[in-house]
Amino acid sequence: MSQSQNFFITGLAVLLSGCIAVGPDYHPPDMDIPAVWVNETGTSDMSLAAWWLVFDDAGLNQLLFDLRANNRDLAAAVANMERYAAQYGMVRAEAFPFVAAQGTVSYDRQTERVRRPEGVPIPDNPTWIYQAGFSMTWEIDLWGRVSRSKEAALGRLDAAAEDVRHTLVLLQAQAAAEYIQLRTLQARLATAFNNIELQRETLVVVRGRFAAGLTGEADVFQAEMNLAATEAQVPALRAQVEETLNALCVLAGTWPGALDVLREPQAVPSARTLPGVLPAELIRQRPDIRSAERQLAAQTARIGVAQAELYPKLALNGSFAFVATDTDVLISTAAQAFDIGPVLSLPIFTGGKVRQSIRAEEAATRAALARYEQSVLTAFGECEDALSRFKESGAQLNALQEAATAAERTVVVVNELYRSGLTDFQRVLDAQRQLTQYQDALAQAQGARAASLVAVYKAFGGGWEAEMQ
């Protein structure tokens, strides 16, 4: 090996060993988050991954199982993550040499009007030329352009994985809320049917008293009006039941009618188990925060990618081929042709394009940091809102339970007084209307209580499996 070849190889090794990555190294942002929650949380150590088990509802459990297996939005999020995984693989490939095989066959004719040196023979003209070999190019990552590109691609892939988890959290919470809405509507329908039956019995009593001459015809009309008004609530509730069932079918990734098993009324799910999550743990639990942090990491790496364009680029290029005018001697030592050597390029004038590109990436990084901080603030606000609503929904539910119980007792007493002729029919109407109103409100409050608990678990980022971490 000649001295020049030794110098070239030694110099290349020095360059490879001295590669540095320009641009800022990423460090996760440090926010001064609150030490405690404003509203009270739970002390349960139950895993957030399967929070719906607190309701102990088989129908809800099966629904969420179907959702995780068949939901199309979730499938799209997974496919999007796989796309970013493929893009990361493409960026990783830039760290390796690019080798391509090539072969040509051409019919070549040279000009006869060019003077040749004395003694140089004139080749066959025209002639066939055959060539077969390969070429190689390999960018030496002197300034970390490729390594920073890998950091950016990996950060975006990690963010896409968190987006899958975030989609799962949102979809499961939405499905649970729709399921609770279905059970609430069924409870409201049951309440409406009970009151319709009561009002029909009252109408029979009023008609009997009218036939006996004990009351006026106006009481009959008022009783019929009250019954018709209550019956008018049923079609709207039934339509909402159909809409909710269809929404659940879409979430479960199936056709309308596939979940008719849920038409059988069941009690509104209830539970009081709050998650015991510390404020510091929320950042690690919420997938949207984790996604924003990974996007910030990816964007920070892009600054280095842009800065690397300011510095020289070094590539190692080479080619090897067999070239001959006769196929019989193509694969031979004499037909070999090759070249190998470094190529150095340095931007001299770009009109400020590179520096503006760096400014753009730095600004994008500041925006990514702001989005991350905003996602943290939003998450804490959502948690506090959900905890507050859950607390107040309990007070509302207790008050409505007392009101509904008092209304039931009032109806019994007033009906007896009316049958005995000790009160007028207006008090009966008022009592029955109040009973219908409070029982319907109580059913809605039971559903709101359960839905508020779902909102708590959603706000805390519950619903994704620990093994996905």
DSSP 141: -
How many beta carbons lie within 10 A of that of residue 192, not counting itself?
Answer: 21
Domains and CATH numbers, the chain: 22-95+142-311+352-468 (1.20.1600.10), 97-140+312-345 (2.20.200.10)
Check if the beta carbon of residue 180 is closer than 8 Å to that of residue 186: no
pLDDT at 6: 53
Query: pLDDT tens, 227-273?
Result: 999 999 999 999 999 999 999 999 999 999 999 999 999 999 998 88
User: Which residue, chain included where needed, has tokens 């942090």?
Assistant: 293
Residue ranges of the chain with pLDDT lower than 50?
A: 7, 10, 13-14, 17, 468-469
Say how far apart CA 342 and CA 300 lie, in whole Å: 30
Output the pTM of the full model.
0.88
| Burial degree of 437 (CB within 10 A; 0-12, 13-18, 19+) | middle
Query: pLDDT tens, 185-221?
Result: 999 999 999 999 999 999 999 999 999 999 999 999 9
Query: Phi first, then psi: what are they for 323, rounded to 5°?
Result: -130, 130
Nearest-CA neighbor of 306 among 143, 464, 66?
A: 143
Give me Rg for the CA atoms of the chain.
38
The beta-strand segments (E) located in 167-271 are: none
Say how far apart CA 94 and CA 404 lie, in whole Å: 71
Amino acid letter at 11?
G
pLDDT at 361: 97
How many beta carbons lie within 10 A of that of residue 329, not counting itself?
Answer: 13
H or E segment to which residue 122 belongs: none
Say how far apart CA 290 and CA 81 lie, in whole Å: 15
- Max Cα–Cα distance, the chain, nearest Å: 142
For residue 272, CA distances in Å to 61, 387, 391 come to: 18, 12, 10
Q: Is 318 helix (H, G, I), strand (E, B) or coil?
A: strand
Query: pLDDT tens, 325-342?
Result: 888 888 888 888 999 999
Side-chain half-sphere of 153: how many Cα atoms within 13 Å?
A: 20
Token digits of residue 136: 């190689």
Say how far apart CA 96 and CA 100 lie, in whole Å: 13
pLDDT at 111: 77
